[in-house]
Chains A and B, each alone.
Chain A
């Protein structure tokens, strides 16, 4: 059965018509062309598809699009400022070489930004625990943890942005 859904995605009102079994990740990637949200597994383990739904990090492959009707969604494409200035968490990932192939990166960044809401002064151990739901095969997590620590600090200091 086809459903028509309304959602606000990266600040824009969107109307999409999808099958009732469509996943939020499918709608973002296929219907809205927001391919920064990646799908890396089929068991909700890898976290590459993490987006924010009403301000909370969600694995978008685990949510039916229908459940997001009326929701406000932010994807990796909506994180930087309109003038292109990177979000402090994005900037911190660049500064600390927190990414290699880039595939897990959008999910990592979206998850890390949500950590600021839950635990803005997270310790290294808390950061590692928080990122348990995001798998990276390239970096060994060392630089991701450094980046998240810096990103959390910079978010608190009003969005200090590391030089690109």
Chain B
């Protein structure tokens, strides 16, 4: 069931326009990186470390080089000798004492040590993939195994140093918020609620495995990298400025159809460097495609926090202070944005939807012998939401308060907007209490007791859980982010180009890998310029065609990229008015524009925008003295603030105490994404996001063996991906409270479902089990154990 309050619109902003990109995907005509084959192409296979931690004593490639079909074998030493730089980290976090974080070099191939299972050791390039794989088996690597550390909680005391420059494995020890004010809040609190939480490690698992094709033209000395990226322009910048050191004007990076990202395809990966390096060396195209087992051990993972949290309350259940101590696993190296996830995108969100006056967080990031950890859908915000919403439930339980009531009592209210949180953000808008009350109504909260009783008669434990989330999207402005350690700009760009015949190409710096930009962005262009959808093309994913933009992550595409497009559209309209004024022999001030037609105010004299475009490109009757020919405008947009999507999710679960199986029986979500451009697409984003949250709560868990550091969950046989029969149908609704800091009024919708999802499900599970807390994932075995330990409090686990 879908609740839609608004009248149905068939096109433009607010309409559920069917996606223009669907036909090619539905007929097998999508063009993903691995679908492409270049003339003369060779195949790369990457030999990876079987050990979590080992010294490389020697690498003997003699036999492998002599194997049939082999063109070259590249080792870490060759890459290092060629002056290739390490994969950089894009955000500098400082320690409490102001010193910078530890940033050990991350060369694309290991040189003297391997630091996680799957670490890159050598590249074999051959005329077939099979030949490359066969030759890789002939490479003899002499390893001296070292003890490994995998768990963030043990990292500091393990006595194993992943990097020599970080002897206790601490990357940084960071703090945020007002420590003294928070101590004061706890000193005067009537109640203190404490919670220890593990935010389990996730493997993003976009369905398309990563792939990359490197090309080099020795004649023009031009490079092309085709890669499965969410931000090809950023990859080009990093490839040129940091790793390969190439002249940027000679490098084209293309991210064609990309089969999902969820954060994992933001980052600059070693394989991107290696295929370009090999292509230059051999002057032939070189292609690499990950097998799924490689994805598990080389795509950046997500989450992996160990946290202690304390909430101070007065005797009425009003929040006085929140104190948080988190250890965040960075894995073996700092991935592109790793350092910012458990800090800038986590601690700044710890106010949630609540007017908690004092908050203090300490975050220690540690290196371990595991795959690097970086942004995964939500990136820091799901971890913050999980912590807040779990401890709010624990507080309600301790104080004997209704969980809706404790939330309502502490919500920031619309009259308090704009609201400065104690953790550095300024919320611009939102009606949190309305989202909650709508969700309560949708799920029939009042009737829950009856449903619980009915379930009990069937032998099932029924629970209900809430998550009232807020997130910060579209990181900005660039100068503020820069002051906080960002090493990149956070604007985006767009170019709106009318063609002489009146069709339009819109080049955007953001990238679609499932979000439907080709449709949503075209809806905006169509409405603003009065051009039919079929005459608009949205171009993305090719640095040779699009202006420099930062790509798609953090639900930023519309709020940042869409706004850049709006600015370019406004420039087109402004210039068109001048052309229209000339053609209609009127003053530009008297020209009005609506539905693609320029009219002299108060007259019937008018000209269509397609004619304007024609006049601009065939400027025979044209004000050439004042105006350049052409109708092609570009804009960059740097937001004034984050946007703050928010909402409430409620779900009901039934636990079978015999088997420990948890079934989600209902799930409702009320979201405020600001203005909704395409409700159908937005609902799809919510559904998919929620299932990633459900996955973390009930199914998914990336496990490393504590002793050996081996990746235990290295395939879909061991890592439980949510399947169709694991999840329910959803009831979703949006409350549009327009964003006050951008002209579109949009907030972003890509991550919301995931941000609330895991907290919502775990709150319902804990309610069903009648326990203070249990860690994710609530698998049947774990749930069964919790129930057993409740029945027999003395029994050892």
Contact = CB atoms under 8 A, between A and B. Distances in A.
Interface of A: 19, 29, 34-43, 45-46, 48, 75-77, 79-80, 86, 90, 93-95, 97, 99-106, 109, 124-125, 127-129, 131-132, 134-145, 164
Contacts of A80: 27
Summarize A's interface: helix, strand, loop or mixed: loop
Interface in B114-142: 130
A36 B27 contact: yes
B617 interface: no
Given A34-B28, A76-B28, A140-B730, A104 B207 contact: yes
Contacts of A79: 27
Interface string B699-735: 0000000000000000111000111110101100000
Interface in B475-523: 513-516
A80 B722 CA distance: 30
Interface in B7-53: 18-19, 21-32, 34-35
Contacts of A19: 130
A109 B30 CA distance: 14
17 contacts: A35-B32, A36-B29, A37-B28, A42-B293, A46-B716, A77-B27, A77-B29, A104-B259, A105-B26, A131-B724, A137-B260, A138-B684, A139-B687, A139-B688, A140-B686, A140-B687, A140-B727
A101 B681 CA distance: 12
Given A100-B516, A102-B25, A105-B26, A128 B205 contact: no
Contact of B26 (A94, A101, A103): A94
B561 interface: no
Given A38-B208, A45-B716, A106-B25, 19 more contacts: A36-B30, A46-B207, A75-B28, A93-B26, A99-B26, A102-B25, A103-B32, A103-B259, A128-B724, A137-B688, A137-B692, A140-B684, A140-B722, A140-B727, A141-B687, A141-B691, A143-B687, A145-B724, A145-B729
Contacts of A125: 725
B666 interface: no
Interface in B254-278: 257-260, 262
A75 B28 CA distance: 8
A101 to B, nearest CB: 3
Contacts of A42: 291-293, 715
Identify the 5 closest CB pairs spanning chains A and B, nearest first.
Answer: A36-B28, A103-B259, A102-B25, A101-B514, A140-B687
B492 to A, nearest CB: 21
A43 B296 CA distance: 13
Contacts of A29: 35
B585 to A, nearest CB: 43
Contact of A100 (B31, B130, B205, B260): B260
B67 interface: no
B725 A132 contact: yes
A86 B516 CA distance: 20
A71 B730 CA distance: 41
Contacts of A129: 724-725
Given A43-B716, A77-B28, A139-B684, A124 B18 contact: no
B560 to A, nearest CB: 20
B686 to A, nearest CB: 8
Contacts of A95: 18
A38 B724 contact: no
Given A100-B260, A136-B207, A137-B205, A35 B28 contact: yes
Contacts of B647: none
B26 A109 contact: yes
A40 B207 contact: yes
Contacts of A46: 207, 292, 716
A101 B208 contact: yes
A90 B716 contact: no
B716 A135 contact: yes
B680 interface: yes
A46 B683 CA distance: 24
Contacts of B681: 97
Given A19-B130, A43-B292, A134 B27 contact: no
B28 A140 contact: no
Task: Output the residue of A37, A42, A46, A90 with the most chain B CB within 10 A.
Answer: A42
A94 to B, nearest CB: 4
B730 A137 contact: no
A99 to B, nearest CB: 6
Given A40-B292, A102-B25, A109-B26, A94 B207 contact: no
